[in-house]
Structure 1
Amino acid sequence: MGQGMRLTVDAAMRARDVSRVRAEEEAPSPPAAPPEPVKPRRGEKRRLAKRRAAARL
Structure 2
Amino acid sequence: MLAKRVAVVIGGLIIGIALELCVLALYAIPPAKYGWLYHVGTAVPFALAAMIVLDAVLKTEMLP
TM-score (norm 2): 0.27
Identify, as 1 or 2, the structure richer in helix: 2
TM-score (norm 1): 0.30
Bigger radius of gyration:
1
